[in-house]
């Protein structure tokens, strides 16, 4: 199915039917019409629901260094270059899901995941779904000012319907966010389980032009990224100049050797531009 809607009307309901083109929209509450006893994923034969919408205050956006909806501004061009390179490699791989990875803390992977998703959503040919799977230390909701009632953690642990965890950010029309509500102790076991595989498969196959961006915990600090790598089709590795060691990069890539890496993003470069692909 192809997600062809390029703008979202807060008053518009979403009606999805299996075998038909889905047309997403959003508002303040999620209202499923019926339950789907076959998939358990929360999608139904006929579903009417609305996504919550949050306002991203300009002060917060600037403080968190988050791109505007058009991915413009002083730091927009490098992210657009990154977007174009990533989309090209994903197309070559026949993939639409990407894990944003880093070796350790402070490498900038979460900001990279957010701004890459925004840059992809700014492309008229794609929509982006940003998923916070750093379940040991979820932070996307804090950066975007989201106070989720349901998170991806609830979808995985309690089998809550996935649409209940989806949030829209006002002005970012082709971007949808699935935040995590709270930290999970046994996160690697959770994201390696069959439930996670079922959820990711449903998210991947629902819209032909949707790109899934996953933020994961640091590769060398837990086994989460390694456990999840079998559920995702490609990875982008983020390194921070002056912080990420060569040995850490080598070890991380060795652990992820079965996952296609589309490229390496250099963060905090001392060069005139702040970000390179």
DSSP lists the bridge partners of residue 212 as 97, 129
Give the H or E element holding residue 191. Answer: helix 187-192
**Residue 81 predicted with pLDDT over 70:** yes
**Domains in the chain: boundaries:** 52-276
157 in Cβ contact with 185 (< 8 Å) = no
pLDDT of the residue at 20: 30
Rg (C-alpha) for the chain, rounded Å, is 18
Calculate what percentage of the chain has a pLDDT beyond 70: 79
pLDDT at 5 over 50: no
Q: How far apart are CA 94 and CA 202, in angstroms?
A: 17
The enclosing H or E element of 154 equals helix 152-157
Mean pLDDT over each residue of the chain, to the nearest integer: 82
The confidence score (pLDDT) of residue 73 equals 85
3-state DSSP call for residue 157?
Answer: helix
Q: How does pLDDT run across 38-67, given as a tens digit for each residue?
A: 344 544 433 445 789 999 999 999 999 999
Return the CATH number of the domain spanning residue range 52-276. Answer: 3.40.50.300
Say how far apart CA 118 and CA 123 lie, in whole Å.
Answer: 9
pLDDT tens string 245-276: 899 999 999 999 999 999 999 876 544 444 44
How far is residue 165's CA from residue 130's CA, in Å, rounded to a whole number? 11
Predicted local distance difference test score (pLDDT) of residue 35 = 34
pLDDT digits (tens, 9 = 90+) for 179-210: 999 999 899 999 999 999 999 999 999 888 99
Which residues, 6+ apart, have CB-to-CB distance to 267 below 8 Å? 107, 108, 111, 112, 238, 239, 240, 241, 275
- Could you give the C-alpha distances from 127 to 43, 69, 101, 186, 199, in angstroms and in order? 19, 12, 21, 31, 18
- The number of beta carbons lying within 10 Å of the beta carbon of residue 130 is 27
Q: Do residues 134 and 112 make contact, with C-beta atoms less than 8 angstroms apart?
A: no
């Amino acid at each position: 199915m192809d997600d062809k809607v390029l703008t979202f009307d807060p008053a518009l309901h979403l009606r999805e039917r299996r075998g038909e083109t889905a047309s997403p929209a959003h508002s303040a509450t999620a209202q499923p019409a019926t339950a789907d006893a076959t998939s358990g994923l929360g999608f139904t034969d006929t579903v009417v629901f609305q996504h919550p919408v949050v306002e991203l205050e300009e002060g917060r956006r600037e403080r968190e260094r988050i791109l505007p909806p058009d991915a413009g501004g002083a730091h927009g061009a490098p992210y657009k270059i990154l977007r174009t390179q990533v989309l090209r490699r994903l197309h070559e791989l026949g993939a639409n899901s990407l894990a944003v990875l880093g070796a350790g803390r402070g490498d900038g992977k979460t900001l990279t995941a957010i701004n890459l998703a925004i840059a992809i959503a700014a492309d008229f040919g794609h929509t982006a779904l940003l998923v916070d799977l750093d379940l040991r230390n979820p932070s996307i909701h804090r950066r975007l000012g989201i106070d989720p009632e349901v998170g991806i953690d609830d979808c995985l642990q309690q089998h809550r319907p996935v649409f209940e965890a989806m949030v829209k950010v006002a002005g970012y029309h082709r971007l949808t966010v699935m935040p995590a509500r709270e930290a999970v102790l046994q996160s690697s076991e959770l994201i390696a389980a069959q439930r996670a595989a079922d959820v990711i498969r449903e998210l991947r196959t629902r819209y032909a032009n949707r790109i899934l961006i996953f933020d994961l915990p640091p590769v060398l600090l837990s086994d989460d990224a390694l456990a999840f790598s079998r559920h995702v089709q490609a990875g982008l590795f983020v390194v921070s100049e002056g912080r990420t060691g060569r040995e850490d990069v080598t070890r991380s890539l060795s652990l992820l050797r079965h996952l296609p890496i589309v490229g390496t993003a250099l963060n905090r470069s001392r060069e005139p531009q702040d970000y390179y692909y």
